[in-house]
Amino acid sequence: MKNFTFLGKKVFYFFLRWLYTFWMPDVRVLSIDDSIEFVLKYNKSIIRWGDGETELFDGYDIVYQRFDKNLRAEMLSFVTEYSDDSPYVIGVPTKYLAMKGLSSVLDKKCRRHWLRTRKDFKKFFNHNVYYMNAFIFGKGLEKKYERLWKEKDYCIFLHNEEQYAKSFEGKYQLKTFYIEVASRDAYSHINTYETSILQRIENEKLDLRRLIVLVSAGPAAKALAFRLSKKGVMTIDAGHCWDYPLNPELSHFDS
């Protein structure tokens, strides 16, 4: 009986979410090429929103980050403060947010992974600004996204394994400074990471116009990009494109 009640509740809330998101507001989306041009022209940071961010935003733990009310508050801030003049651009799962009517429930991936993201986008996000595709760092798109740092001289590289920083420096010939981050619950150390980045910039006298900060730190990367963007530091929430690149089948990729 308890299992039946639990299942009934799940079906009921699924139906409510689907009904609420049956008609979605139009999503204004920059193509990947236009997004990169926009980021470079205005020295914008990049914050990407995926299903993990939705889980945390809605109060749940995920595998590599426990729910934290302060992280949730920062996420709400960068969502509600976002405008075309913000020092950052938000990437969202554009394909699944753009679905309308029955298509959202007939699409298996949307039905299983993105209905709550659609609900949060409709309720909390600004619908009158441009977004980019959250899957910009997908496998096969390296020639596009590497343009973000091709003209830079310095990189501060945050990851839980130094080998990827060394590989990046060797491949792109940028002077790269490595900062290690925790593989789990990185947000609990976010103030330390922020201080380390700012101290490195000051100690090395790095020109912010020639610098890019690349962060692979799960949801903590979003908060870091948000904070540092306000200080004029171009910070990219790159995810783990170096070791576990996104599967292109998760989303459509525009040219």
The enclosing domain of 159 has a CATH number of 3.40.50.2300
CA within 13 Å, CB half, 91: 28
CB environment 32-48: b (16+ within 10 A), e (fewer): beebbeebbeeebbbbb
What distance in Å separates the CA atoms of residue 109 and residue 144, rounded to the nearest whole number?
Answer: 26
Q: How confident is the model at residue 106 (pLDDT cuts 50, 70, 90)?
A: low
Do residues 109 and 204 share a domain? Answer: no
State the pairing for strand pair 88-92/130-133: parallel
User: Mutual orientation of helices 115-124 and 2-20 as an angle, nearest 10°?
Assistant: 50
pLDDT at 100 over 90: no
- State whether 107 and 210 are in the same domain: no
pLDDT for the residue numbered 4? 47
Q: Are residues 70 and 185 in the same domain?
A: no
DSSP state of 248: G
Q: What is the CA radius of gyration of the chain?
A: 19
* Domain presence at residue 245: no
**Average pLDDT taken over every residue of the chain:** 89
Q: What is the mean pLDDT of the segment spanning 193-199? A: 98
216 and 179 within one domain: yes
pLDDT tier, 107 (very low <50, low <70, confident <90, very high otherwise)? confident
pLDDT higher than threshold 70 for residue 142? yes
Quote the CA–CA distance of 129 and 148 in Å, as a whole number: 22
17-21, 73-77, 150-154, 222-226: range with lowest mean pLDDT: 17-21
Does residue 24 surpass a pLDDT of 90?
Answer: no
Q: Are both 79 and 177 inside the same structural domain?
A: no
Q: Are residues 7 and 57 in the same domain?
A: yes
> 5 pLDDT band (50/70/90 cuts)?
low
Distance CA 85, CA 116 (A): 27
Residues 24 and 47 in one domain: yes
In angstroms, the CA 197 to CA 228 distance is: 9
Alpha-carbon span 104 to 39, nearest angstrom? 30
- In this model, does residue 14 exceed pLDDT 70? no
Q: Is residue 73 predicted with pLDDT exceeding 80?
A: yes
Specify whether 90 is located in the same domain as 184.
Answer: no
Confidence band for 7, pLDDT divided at 50, 70 and 90 = low
Q: How confident is the model at residue 1 (pLDDT cuts 50, 70, 90)?
A: very low
> Of all residues in the chain, what percent carry a pLDDT higher than 90?
74
16 compared with 236, residue with greater pLDDT:
236
Residue-number span of the structural domain to which 57 is assigned: 2-137
Structure tokens, 237: 């929430």
Q: Are residues 33 and 113 in the same domain?
A: yes
Instruction: Find the range with the poorest average confidence among 11-20, 50-59, 123-132.
Output: 11-20
Q: Which amino acid is at 67?
A: F
Confidence of residue 20 (pLDDT cuts 50, 70, 90): low
Domain's final residue, options 88, 110, 137: 137
Closest CA relative to residue 113, chosen from 25, 49, 185: 49
Number of structural domains (the chain) is: 2
For residues 9 and 130, membership in a common domain is answered with yes
Confidence class of residue 15 from pLDDT cuts 50, 70 and 90? low
Whether the predicted pLDDT of 252 surpasses 50:
no
